[in-house]
Structure 1
Amino acid sequence: MFIRRFWLGFIFLLCLPLAGSAQRFHLPEGVKSQKINFQLINNLIVIPLEINDAKLNFILDSGVSKPLLFNLSDQDSIQLRNVSEITINGLGAGEPIKALNSRGNSFKLKKIRNFDQQIFVVLDKDINFSPSLGIPVHGIIGFDLFRDFIVEVNYGRKSIKFHNPEYYDETSSKNAQSIPLSIVDRKAYITGKVSFEDKDNVPVKLLIDTGSSDAVWLFQDLDKGINIPEKHYVDYLGKGLNGSIFGKRTKVRKVQLGDFVLKNAKAAFPDMFSFSSIKDHGDRNGTVGGEILRRFNIVFNYQNNVIHLKKNSYFNEPFRFNMSGLELQHNGLRYIAERITDSRGVVKNDERSFGDVQILMENRTRLSLVPEIIVSGIRAGSPADEAGLREGDVILAVNGKRVHKYKLQEIMNMINEKEGKKVRLLIERYDSDLLFSFTLKDVFNKKP
């Protein structure tokens, strides 16, 4: 699995008006649980969801209080009910944005139903995370599902079981460690410890956020001993509803949750200006996200204010950073031409096809419509930056492999495989093909 090595940085902490009373999610009478298979992309859980009979993809985000819908470009036929205009705030340095508040909608997740669900709709076309994920994603949903079910997430098998609390047997989690949760303002928090270069076991209270693909975000607090390590670099951390989020990326000696210790963990200190829409952080010290959560199989029990953690096969994997300095995303579609005959004119046996549209020309050449992959960002001073790559460059091949044959996350893995590896990128710039080479470097092996 390739996606686990990279982070795209989505986090949604919304200040939204909440409905007074609405029907809850439920299973049919006598049904004990519903299993859902999900896609794990950049540590984010993507589930299928039907809203008013429209089939959509949503991120399961424990950090969001109400469902949020965006990116409707390919779902123009969705019907929304009881709509009014509102203003919402989220993370980022921009201004609050206009949105729609819609009530009385029908939600369906296999057998799970809710016939009176509130949802907020963002109309800004720039709020679209599908290009960075490589698949269509239309929204996020969180607290309402965690509130109404015991949610069992198996990251290893990429499946979720939504258990009816009336039938759930707590003893099924006997092999896992139980850690108390606190539920405040429709969000769940866990306590843990972080060890820095000069200070061990600093107690921290962290928001549990399955909608953040990073490992841990920390808020600097010198009085508590939460300070930015000497070795760090400034980086783009992600995108919130109100704009881009920047901060300092680093690593800490360990993060401890219960008795579980994760060593040399990836960490980031976001610029606190991005959190200006959140008036009171209380005693919260940061966020724990998918890069750490995916290392466990987890049972979220909001009913009893507890979370059960059991480490899985990902637990001992090292935390990896973006060594190339490149960020990639989809940028629409392009045609590529491929010969389907060998030197003798014989059609090659090629059962694998690429793209949804294909045209055969004289039975020798195939034109396929495939996603275009571009450079969406470059970290200053990184190997890719020093080699001369630019934002907007179209990636054609990595180490001789044409990228249209691979998923976006597989391509990211190819350009960030291991320290010391030489990477060759064939790119298109202004209708010219150019070849660039660079060697992957661990930024923490360099002097700060």
Structure 2
Amino acid sequence: MRAVSFFLFKILFISAITLSLVVNHVNAQQFEFSGDRKNQTINFNLVRNLVIVPLYINGNGPFNFILDTGVGPLIITDTSIVKDLNLKKLRPVKMNGLGKGLEIDAFISNEIYAKIGKAEIENIPTAILKEDVFALSSYVGVPIHGLLGYYFFNSFVVELNYTGRRLKFHRPETKRRIEGEAIPIEIFNNKPYMSVHMDIPGLGTRSLKVVIDNGASHAISLETLDENPFPIPTASIKANLGIGLSGPISGSVARIPSLRVGSFILNDVISSYPDYDNAARKTLFLNRNGNLGAEILTRFNITFDYNNNFMYLKRNYNFRRPFEHDMSGMEIFVDDALTKRFFISRIEPESPAVEAGLLVDDEILSINFMTAGTMTLNDVSKFLRMENGKTLYIAINRKGELLIKTIKLKKRI
């Protein structure tokens, strides 16, 4: 399965029956340190704005898991690791989500013992997808085995130092001075929510309720307003926004003149608008307006304190980094995260990629004479949003034929 550029809605909409099976069966599970340990610091990898941490499961690993405020139960997306976990009681369930498509098959387990650093948890409620519908490894460019969310964040006070790529966590009862501006949050359905403010043409300044989702690599997704589709600015482009649990999510991309998060004002923000019928309508029952993602969150060093319903923001050196959208009109995925083979998965109509004569399934061999094998997916993404008017020389393999294509990047939004 090919990954898509925004990785927008990996949030799982587990049905009420499934949710009760996962959560209520063991409703007080916590990660704990053994002995007198009160805190720990570990390093993490940051790829496409996503925090990747090492997790051990049932004594096996380490496995690469995305640390994700946007999910509740532990989610195993790579079924290849399941055979070594010695699970005996897997309950089949149906799960649905945002996107075009039907429910998919999954399994529920309460036999998972997980460990991150020196913190461990027994019988963590876990959803195991029967098929890796997200193709996370292809999207990120390194092997990804799943998502870790609520049960970790609810166990500790958690600091994400994005600039230093360090994860610090300590027991909630341990008194520590927390740096940053305190932002009230609400925990609903095992996910954190907050209010942001923005000016909407014709409607003035509005307070919007958004889920805080550091596991979504976009800046902000705006879904509904007053139970109607969120108004899309005139200056927008159609785009494939990501992959949901039930399939692709289409929509539009535009810019917000300004967005206020706490006392912080962000200007010229890239915003996503998922198609209402296929995605946004499904968020109505959550009583929210949108989804605040990692393209904004990585501009801060953040401390999450679920127990006291606060998030603390301290802006870092990325705060004034311009918000940029892809300037090529093509999306890239990694066919094999170990061999680093980059392929074109999608090309937008009337884009620079079309003008350059590039096609879906072309394999990228080099960009500006830098061979693909020496690059990460992060490197490739930076090339494709480098500078308006910048010329790239791309060597491709098209069914065994070596071709050199010239593409002139264009700021499309």
Q: TM-score, normalised by structure 1?
A: 0.85
> For the Cα contact (< 8 Å) 2:187–2:306, is it kept in 1?
yes
How many angstroms apart in 2 are the aligned matches of 1:197 and 1:425? 41
Q: Deviations over 1:336-378 (max 9, x none)?
A: xxxxxxxxxxxxxxxxxxx7xxxxxxxxxxxxxx321111111
Aligned residue number for residue 126 of structure 2: 119
Structure 1 residue identity aligned to 2:212? I
Aligned residue number for residue 268 of structure 2: 264
Q: Deviations over 1:249-276 (max 9, x none)?
A: 0110011011100000110111123337
Aligned residue number for residue 345 of structure 1: none
How many angstroms apart in 1 are the aligned matches of 2:385 and 2:188? 38
> For the Cα contact (< 8 Å) 2:224–2:288, is it kept in 1?
no
Q: Secondary structure at the match of 1:332?
A: coil
Q: Compared with structure 1, are the counterparts of its residues 420 and 127 closer, same or farther at alpha carbon in structure 2 (3 Å cutoff)?
A: closer
Aligned residue number for residue 433 of structure 1: 402
How many angstroms apart in 2 are the aligned matches of 1:126 and 1:289? 20
> For the Cα contact (< 8 Å) 1:196–1:229, is it kept in 2?
no
Residues 1:53 and 2:54 are matched in the alignment:
no
Aligned residue number for residue 364 of structure 2: 395
Aligned residue number for residue 246 of structure 1: 250
Aligned residue number for residue 62 of structure 1: 69
Aligned residue number for residue 185 of structure 1: 189
Residues 1:13 and 2:17 are matched in the alignment:
no
Aligned residue number for residue 41 of structure 1: 47
Select the residue among 372, 382, 389 that pairs with 2:351. Answer: 382
Deviation at 1:221, TM superposition (A): 2.6
Deviation at 1:52, TM superposition (A): 0.7
Aligned residue number for residue 334 of structure 2: 330
Deviation at 1:20, TM superposition (A): 2.4
Deviation at 1:13, TM superposition (A): 2.8
Residues 1:404 and 2:379 are matched in the alignment:
no
Residues 1:32 and 2:31 are matched in the alignment:
no
Structure 1, unpaired ranges of 5+: 1-5, 334-354, 356-369
Q: Compared with structure 1, are the counterparts of its residues 438 and 280 closer, same or farther at alpha carbon in structure 2 (3 Å cutoff)?
A: closer
> For the Cα contact (< 8 Å) 1:199–1:225, is it kept in 2?
no
Residues 1:233 and 2:240 are matched in the alignment:
no
> For the Cα contact (< 8 Å) 2:79–2:129, is it kept in 1?
no
> For the Cα contact (< 8 Å) 2:32–2:121, is it kept in 1?
yes
Q: Secondary structure at the match of 1:272?
A: coil
Identity in percent? 31
How many angstroms apart in 2 are the aligned matches of 1:311 and 1:104? 40
Structure 1 residue identity aligned to 2:41? K
Q: CA RMSD in A?
A: 2.1
Structure 1 residue identity aligned to 2:267? K
Q: Deviations over 1:140-179 (max 9, x none)?
A: 111111111111111111111111011132xx12x41111
How many angstroms apart in 2 are the aligned matches of 1:84 and 1:289? 32
Structure 2 residue identity aligned to 1:33? N
How many angstroms apart in 1 are the aligned matches of 2:410 and 2:147? 35
> For the Cα contact (< 8 Å) 1:398–1:415, is it kept in 2?
no
Aligned residue number for residue 94 of structure 2: 87
How many angstroms apart in 1 are the aligned matches of 2:113 and 2:226? 48
Q: Secondary structure at the match of 1:148?
A: coil
Q: Secondary structure at the match of 1:231?
A: coil
How many angstroms apart in 1 are the aligned matches of 2:297 and 2:395? 35
Deviation at 1:75, TM superposition (A): 6.4
Aligned residue number for residue 174 of structure 2: 167
Q: How does 1:112-151 map to 2 (within 5 A)?
A: 112-151=119-158
Deviation at 1:198, TM superposition (A): 5.1
Q: Deviations over 1:289-336 (max 9, x none)?
A: 000000111111111111111101110100011001121111138xxx
Deviates more, 1:150-159 or 1:274-283: 274-283
Aligned residue number for residue 337 of structure 1: none
Deviation at 1:237, TM superposition (A): 0.6
How many angstroms apart in 2 are the aligned matches of 1:423 and 1:93? 34
Q: How does 1:327-366 map to 2 (within 5 A)?
A: 327-332=331-336
> For the Cα contact (< 8 Å) 2:300–2:314, is it kept in 1?
yes
Structure 2, unpaired ranges of 5+: none
Deviation at 1:86, TM superposition (A): 1.0
How many angstroms apart in 1 are the aligned matches of 2:221 and 2:334? 27
Larger Rg: 1
Aligned residue number for residue 306 of structure 1: 310
Q: Deviations over 1:37-83 (max 9, x none)?
A: 11111111111101112211111111111111012336643332421
Of the two structures, which has the highest relative contact order with CA contacts closer than 8 Å and spacing of 6 or more?
2
Deviation at 1:186, TM superposition (A): 1.2
How many angstroms apart in 2 are the aligned matches of 1:419 and 1:276? 31
How many angstroms apart in 2 are the aligned matches of 1:411 and 1:185? 36
Select the residue among 192, 209, 213 that pairs with 1:209. Answer: 213
How many angstroms apart in 1 are the aligned matches of 2:199 and 2:269? 10
Q: How does 1:276-287 map to 2 (within 5 A)?
A: 278=282, 280-287=284-291
Deviation at 1:423, TM superposition (A): 1.1
Q: TM-score, normalised by structure 2?
A: 0.92
Structure 1 residue identity aligned to 2:184? P
